[in-house]
Homo-oligomer: A and B are copies of this chain.
Amino acid sequence: MTTTPTPTRKDAARNRSLLLAAAEDLFRDAGLDVTLKDVARHAGVGVGTVYRHFPTKDDLVAALFAQQLEAEIERARKSVEAGDSWEALVDYLKESMRLQSSNRGLRALMCPAGSVFDSVRECKAVVNPLIDQLVKSAHAQGTLRPDCTSRDIALLQVGLVGIMDATPEDPNAYRRHLALFLDGVRV
């Protein structure tokens, strides 16, 4: 898990961008199992070039999703700062799940199996307390069932990801489940 410096040479910088763009496309649509040979071909470069820029596949994945993980943290923070607790919790869930539904790679990353990545573990370590806070606020406000814990919310997210993975033909199928669940835990 090495941090790769941005290259100085013009062609190298260009290829790095091409690689990240190709990886983003492929990982988004086909998940993290995509071959690095595919990424290289899609970017119009050789495999060797991939490994020059990213020592391992994990490094490529980490570099690619670093920004999205940051966004996930930011999203949770924004929701915590919002006023209405129920709406804040729901908005966070909707937005977080919407992004995961449109990105198969991100989904694989956020699942427990993806915790082999330091960056993912760090992200969760930051986000989880924020969700705790969202849940506590909603409890205090009396808009969330008192026995609904932040672990319940975490498992809800896991379940929704399972639904997304199972319904690639209907990327919005998960919304139905989310809505029904929320109906059950409100007030």
Contacts and interface: CB of A to CB of B under 8 A. Distances in A.
Main secondary structure on chain A at its contact with chain B? Answer: helix
A158 B163 contact: yes
- What size tier do the contact residues of chain A reach? 20 to 34
A152 B165 contact: no
Interface in A154-187: 155-156, 158-163, 165-167, 173-174, 176-177, 180-185
Nearest to A165: B162
Interface string A94-124: 0000000000000000011000000000000
A175 to B, nearest CB: 10
Number of this chain's copies in the complex: 2
A34 to B, nearest CB: 17
A63 to B, nearest CB: 25
B152 A111 contact: no
A148 interface: yes
A158 B166 contact: yes
Contact of A162 (B158, B173, B184): B158
